[in-house]
Chain A
Amino acid sequence: MTDVTFRVFRGAGTQGGFEEYTVQLSEGMVVLDAVLDIQASQAGDLAVRWNCKAGKCGSCSAEVNGKPRLMCMTRMNTLPLDQPVTIEPMRSFPLIKDLVTDVKRNFEINKRVRPFKPKPRQADGTHRMMQYDIDRIQEFHKCIECFLCQDVCHVMRDHQKPDFIGPRFLIRLAALVMHPLDTENRLTELKDAFGIGYCNITKCCTEVCPENIKITDNAIIPLKERVAGNFYDPLAWLWRKARGKRPDTRPGTE
């Protein structure tokens, strides 16, 4: 079997650099296998975050040859092996150690999203929802919170926009806004507190999503349209004026 060279980032806080390790390739191998192999036999203290090793938990996010990927779903036979394979931590998050970053920021953002508030049940005690009405939300619920979209998003990566909640939470908002049972209006905070306007739909998030969620097309653009319709549509503005109604600006808890 072939030997492959890995350049793995080692370091903590703001310090660190690449170290090389050689691993023997085996059939079906994924990048995470190689990292765990290095850990078990060459560097017992190599820090890496992982859980399911099946693409279902979204823990082992890293940048492989410069691309944000799940290490457990990156097959070695999809990489060029005549050169070293480079593994680095996600760059948008502060480094803890080696391949592990501090992603707590995402958990803080999530707390800013107001909870789901359903309509009352029907007389027979059920909630009725048609499958075709929830298909699109089930797509968003596939999100495994790997935060690769947050990592790659240039608004989060290159511009300091502390309000902007990022693609992960825009799809969470889309799932709530489109939920047939949710009774909250979430458009005001999307426009103001969550900064949806910062997204200029470059679709980088969609490209890296390991669950193949069409983040931009199916979540962000429809949300932008709703925000625009509610706040910036001149016809709707006239209509509301004539009816004596204000735009929907019920406040959130922000």
Chain B
Amino acid sequence: MNHETIEHDVIIIGAGGAGLRAAIEASGKGASVGVVCKSLLGKAHTAMAEGGMAAALTTADPRDNWEMHFRDTIRGGKMLNNWRMVKIFTQEAPDRVNELEEWGALFDRTDDGRILQRNFGGHQYARLAHVGDRTGLEMLRTLQNHGIHQGIEVYMECTVVDLLMDGGKAAGAFAYWRDSGTFVQFRAKAVVLATGGLGKCYTITSNSWECTGDGQALAYRAGAELIDMEFVQFHPTGMVWPPSVRGLLVTEGVRGEGGVLRDKDGKRFMFDYIPEMFAGEYAETEEEAKRWRPGVPEGPDARRPPDLLTRDVVARAIRAEVRAGRGSPHGGAYLDIASQASEAQIKKKLPGMYHQFMQLASLDITKEYMEVGPTSHYVMGGVRVDPETCSTSVPGLFAAGEVAGGLHGANRLGGNSLTDLMVFGRRAGAGAAEYAGALSAMPGVNPDQVRDIERLALAPFEESGTENPYEVMQDLQKMMEHDSGIVRAKEELADGLGKLRTLKERSVKVRVEGNRQYNPGWHYALDLHNLIMVSEAITLSALHRDESRGGHTREDFPESSPELEKVNTVVRNRDGEMAWEHVTREPLPGDLQELLSHPHLEEPN
């Protein structure tokens, strides 16, 4: 069958920060660029990022430098990060912030008119360039308004079903227009995946409907490797009440601006949860923590409060408090900014949070405690890429942003994601443009492959289906929450893999009502395939990492293992089955090793 066909040198899938930055770069290098996105331009999940963008600009604290940012990122990642990525990332970060400013972004300012930086969990110094609590929106809008003048074509509300392959090489993407339901094939010399995360695997998540692991699944099916998929970040502070907003993000900026966590009796419990790795770096008593002030460089007598420990540590602490019966009424912990900052400060620095709680929970955060609990937020793992060019193991396929793995190791520091989008979005765009420039001819399209994709995509309209896609998705989310969630154990993970087989069988039997025009039931039915695939990658990788580290916590293996510190989990498609292996990571060179004071960690969980 003949479908609408669109040709570009480079096709970019996803229009969040990474996708738009890649598009700008590839276009600047002379490539013809098309961006394909599931939503309208400017609605990508990047817009939800609140806290800021980490870079050693040294405007707020002159002691900072890329080496310190490097050290914090690797220690925050519990040593599993690809150090080459972290080095590039921390060295290029300041340029990427300045570049956004050059394109019109307006970050909050210091008293002398430079870019202000705020404190965040795991960052030794105030390091996050920010705009109140809506930094992601500022970044996305800036890239959008700059990007529309760079000769980039944007294909909105268009969902990619699968990558087109020519032999083992990427040849484009097969997609449908959401509004009409008709198919379109994008032919390209190079494809950049910038599709973001997979939070929709879980019931409680800060992610939108879009985050269904599309890029990870597309890459896997095309033969690429996924790395570190067991590491899912549960953000410690999601809203827990009312049920309508359960999981919705409460920015870490609340703690960056001085907010503290309390148990049901008002006791600050984070002092009891400082891991050995960070011992001596955080305030040990409430009295000391009170001397610390956001925005003022800390001294030896006023170390930062432990409420600013890394996200994995804080999430586990809140969970432990709730389990011990010390949680808030709706099963979370209290987050208190009201007693720590003035009403005017809160409204100036956290206007979005003020608004969000006022409107959705009828709660005034300038006067009352918030209730917060862990919510699935980010996946550290993803498509395995080359640090320099973001190329994957599939020729012509590139990946950047949350969809890619390696930079964040076992746990991402807040503020490192927005910077990741810019640093590696740019590199992926350049890598793809260069690769496309070296190809003399457009790769071919295999009509058999197109027929297969089309048949699978239309299957939900067949009479024989019996399953409701919404129900299958909810069952998947419940399974992941229970068996492959914030705390895991061997039996449940193995059980989860079994349930995934059943869910996979159910997913090919879904039946949707109505026609192809803007039909969300159909869209969910197709998203399901990706969600199930990435859920399997998470669960399989988690089952084989017999330790606790960063975002991966095993009840049956509560300690970190020095042996497993040396390896990363890689999964790939082997003859239709998902295969895993542990691959030894390239060790840090001596000079970078010296930046980290502890050789390996023994962190209580």
Binding site for B on A (CB under 8 A): 12, 26-30, 33, 39-41, 43-59, 73, 75, 96-98, 100, 102-104, 107, 110-111, 113, 115-116, 118, 125-131, 134, 137-138, 141-145, 172, 176, 179, 181-182
Q: Is B281 an interface residue (CB 8 A)?
A: no
Q: Are A59 and B106 in contact (CB under 8 A)?
A: no
Interface centre among A57, A134, A172 (most CB of B within 10 A): A57
Contacts of A56 in B (CB 8 A): 47-48, 134, 137, 352
Contacts of B244 in A (CB 8 A): 26-30, 33
Q: Are B208 and A45 in contact (CB under 8 A)?
A: no
Top-9 shortest CB links A-B: A28-B242, A45-B514, A44-B521, A128-B113, A116-B104, A47-B518, A40-B470, A28-B244, A97-B518
Closest B residue to A77 using CB positions: B362
Task: Mark interface residues in B131-152 (1 if CB within 8 Å of A CB, else 0).
Answer: 1101001100100011011000
Identify which of B39, B137, B145, B243 contacts A144 (C-beta below 8 A).
B137
Q: Are A141 and B138 in contact (CB under 8 A)?
A: yes
Shortest distance between the CB of A150 and any CB in chain B (Å): 13
Q: Is B45 an interface residue (CB 8 A)?
A: yes
Which residues in window 500-543 of B have CB below 8 A to A? Answer: 512-515, 517-522
Q: Are A116 and B146 in contact (CB under 8 A)?
A: yes
Contacts of A54 in B (CB 8 A): 48, 245, 248-249, 356, 360
Contacts of A141 in B (CB 8 A): 106, 131, 137-138, 141
Interface centre among A43, A56, A125, A143 (most CB of B within 10 A): A56
Q: Are A45 and B109 in contact (CB under 8 A)?
A: no
Once bound together, how far apart are the Cα atoms of A116 and B104, in whole Å?
6
Q: Are B513 and A138 in contact (CB under 8 A)?
A: no
Once bound together, how far apart are the Cα atoms of A85 and B514, in whole Å?
24
Q: Are A129 and B45 in contact (CB under 8 A)?
A: no
Once bound together, how far apart are the Cα atoms of A181 and B113, in whole Å?
13
Contacts of B43 in A (CB 8 A): 51, 57-59, 145
Interface centre among B243, B244, B355 (most CB of A within 10 A): B244
Contacts of B210 in A (CB 8 A): 51
Shortest distance between the CB of B203 and any CB in chain A (Å): 13
Identify which of B39, B104, B114 contacts A179 (C-beta below 8 A).
B104
Further 4 A-B residue pairs, CB within 8 A, beyond A27-B244, A55-B359: A39-B521, A44-B469, A51-B209, A55-B356
Contacts of B518 in A (CB 8 A): 12, 47, 96-98, 100
5 A-B contact pairs sorted by A residue (CB < 8 Å): A44-B513, A55-B355, A56-B137, A58-B43, A179-B104
Once bound together, how far apart are the Cα atoms of A130 and B356, in whole Å?
28
Contacts of B91 in A (CB 8 A): none
For chain B, give the interface size range. 35 or more
Once bound together, how far apart are the Cα atoms of A27 and B242, in whole Å?
6
Contacts of A104 in B (CB 8 A): 156
Contacts of B443 in A (CB 8 A): none
Which residues in window 202-250 of B have CB below 8 A to A? Answer: 208-210, 241-245, 248-249
Asked whether A130 and B113 contact (CB < 8 A) given A57-B208, A59-B43, the answer is yes
Interface centre among A26, A29, A47, A137 (most CB of B within 10 A): A47
Q: Are B41 and A50 in contact (CB under 8 A)?
A: no
Contacts of B42 in A (CB 8 A): 145
Identify which of A30, A49, A58, A137 contacts B106 (C-beta below 8 A).
A137
Closest B residue to A48 using CB positions: B520
Q: Are A47 and B519 in contact (CB under 8 A)?
A: yes
Q: Are A73 and B360 in contact (CB under 8 A)?
A: yes
Q: Are B355 and A45 in contact (CB under 8 A)?
A: no
Contacts of A27 in B (CB 8 A): 242-244
Contacts of B241 in A (CB 8 A): 28
Q: Are A44 and B104 in contact (CB under 8 A)?
A: no
Contacts of A53 in B (CB 8 A): 208, 245, 248
Which residues in window 426-446 of B have CB below 8 A to A? Answer: none
Identify which of A26, A48, A51, A143 contacts B208 (C-beta below 8 A).
A51
Identify which of B208, B356, B361, B469 contacts A28 (C-beta below 8 A).
B361
Identify which of A97, A113, A138 contacts B131 (C-beta below 8 A).
A138
Closest B residue to A113 using CB positions: B145
Task: Mark interface residues in B337-360 (1 if CB within 8 Å of A CB, else 0).
Answer: 000000000000000100110011
Q: Is B462 an interface residue (CB 8 A)?
A: no
Q: Are B520 and A75 in contact (CB under 8 A)?
A: no
Q: Are B209 and A50 in contact (CB under 8 A)?
A: yes
Closest B residue to A179 using CB positions: B104
Task: Mark interface residues in B88-129 (1 if CB within 8 Å of A CB, else 0).
Answer: 000000000010011110101100111100000000000000
Q: Is B578 an interface residue (CB 8 A)?
A: no
Once bound together, how far apart are the Cα atoms of A131 and B113, in whole Å?
7
Q: Is B561 an interface residue (CB 8 A)?
A: no
Once bound together, how far apart are the Cα atoms of A43 and B519, in whole Å?
10
Shortest distance between the CB of A124 and any CB in chain B (Å): 9
Contacts of B519 in A (CB 8 A): 44-45, 47
Once bound together, how far apart are the Cα atoms of A154 and B97, in whole Å?
40
Identify which of A45, A52, A55 contacts B521 (C-beta below 8 A).
A45
Once bound together, how far apart are the Cα atoms of A137 and B132, in whole Å?
13
Once bound together, how far apart are the Cα atoms of A74 and B511, in whole Å?
32
Shortest distance between the CB of B503 and any CB in chain A (Å): 17
Identify which of B48, B106, B114 contacts A138 (C-beta below 8 A).
B106
Asked whether A131 and B243 contact (CB < 8 A) given A28-B360, A45-B521, A115-B149, the answer is no
Contacts of A113 in B (CB 8 A): 145
Q: Are B148 and A111 in contact (CB under 8 A)?
A: yes
Once bound together, how far apart are the Cα atoms of A40 and B131, in whole Å?
37
Q: Is B594 an interface residue (CB 8 A)?
A: no
Once bound together, how far apart are the Cα atoms of A113 and B241, in whole Å?
42
Q: Are B149 and A131 in contact (CB under 8 A)?
A: no
Task: Mark interface residues in B236-279 (1 if CB within 8 Å of A CB, else 0).
Answer: 00000111110011000000000000000000000000000000
Which residues in window 21-55 of B have CB below 8 A to A? Answer: 39-43, 45, 47-48
Q: Are A44 and B514 in contact (CB under 8 A)?
A: yes
Once bound together, how far apart are the Cα atoms of A97 and B180, in whole Å?
10
Interface centre among B112, B179, B356 (most CB of A within 10 A): B179
Shortest distance between the CB of A62 and any CB in chain B (Å): 14
Q: Are B512 and A130 in contact (CB under 8 A)?
A: no
Asked whether A75 and B360 contact (CB < 8 A) given A44-B520, A130-B113, A141-B138, the answer is yes
Q: Are A116 and B106 in contact (CB under 8 A)?
A: no
Once bound together, how far apart are the Cα atoms of A96 and B40, in whole Å?
14
Contacts of B65 in A (CB 8 A): none
Identify which of B39, B249, B355, B468 contacts A44 (C-beta below 8 A).
B468
Closest A residue to B39 using CB positions: A51
Q: Are B245 and A57 in contact (CB under 8 A)?
A: no
Contacts of B132 in A (CB 8 A): 138
Asked whether A128 and B106 contact (CB < 8 A) given A47-B520, A103-B40, the answer is no
Once bound together, how far apart are the Cα atoms of A44 and B156, in whole Å?
22
Shortest distance between the CB of B16 and any CB in chain A (Å): 11
Once bound together, how far apart are the Cα atoms of A97 and B520, in whole Å?
11
Once bound together, how far apart are the Cα atoms of A176 and B106, in whole Å?
11
Shortest distance between the CB of A108 and any CB in chain B (Å): 10
Contacts of B103 in A (CB 8 A): 116
